[in-house]
Amino acid sequence: MASGPAFVGIKFCPECNNMLYPREDKENRQLLYACRNCDYKQLADNNCIYVNKITHEIDELTHIVSDVISDPTLPRTEDHPCPKCQSKEAVFFQAQTRRAEEEMRLYYVCTNQHCTHRWTE
């Protein structure tokens, strides 16, 4: 499994111990780390200077809005009766679970207006 860049870290000047800041060498089209206190510069060993990892989580069933039963674009099934009211029809859709390494999961919502129970198998 290939992963993206990890924590890039903070670099310090070996001459004056101040923090090095990313700077572009526009003439040579290179990324440098430069000290703002002295004239020390070094080539960046990695072109990544910042990582912002965004994770989207579906809190299993609580974030599924019951209004999905009115969505005409969602598929419907009569093969999975509602475990709460035994209604035959349900809408379903796929979503990834909390952990990216897990498989996609089917979510069902009962189309009975008085029930709208949500479940997964």
Identify the residue whose tokens are 């299993």.
60
Query: What's the pLDDT at 121?
Result: 78
Distance CA 116, CA 28 (A): 61
Residues with Cβ within 8 Å of residue 63, at least 6 apart in sequence: none
One domain for residues 80 and 109: yes
75 and 102 fall within a common domain? yes
Is 85 known as a binding-site position? yes
Same domain (yes/no): 72, 113: yes
Tell whether 76 and 112 lie within a shared domain.
yes
- pLDDT at position 40: 96
User: What is the predicted pLDDT for the residue at 98?
Assistant: 57
> Is 107 among the domain residues?
yes
Between CA 8 and CA 11 the distance in angstroms is 9
Query: Containing domain of residue 27, as a range?
Result: 8-51
Consult the annotation and say whether 48 binds a ligand: no
Residue 46, both tokens: 């990695």
**Number of structural domains in the chain:** 2
| CATH code, domain with 69 | 2.20.25.10
Residue 82 resides in a domain: yes
Inside any domain, residue 2: no
CA distance 58 to 56: 7
- Is 3 a member of any domain? no
Q: What is the reported pLDDT for 35?
A: 96
* Structural element, H or E, at residue 48: none
| pLDDT tens digits, one per residue of 44-90 | 888 777 777 665 555 556 667 778 889 999 999 999 999 999 999 99
Shared-domain flag, residues 44 and 73: no
pLDDT digits (tens, 9 = 90+) for 3-45: 555 556 788 999 999 999 999 988 998 999 999 999 999 998 8
| Same domain, residue pair 33 and 69 | no
Helix (H, G, I), strand (E, B) or coil at 12: strand
Single-letter code of the amino acid located at 109 = V
Considering the domain architecture, whether residues 71 and 38 belong to the same structural domain is answered as no
pLDDT in tens, 99-116: 555 677 788 999 999 999
Same-domain check for residues 64 and 108:
yes
Rounded Cα–Cα distance for residues 98 and 92 (Å): 18
Residue 27, both tokens? 């003439």
Any domain includes 86: yes
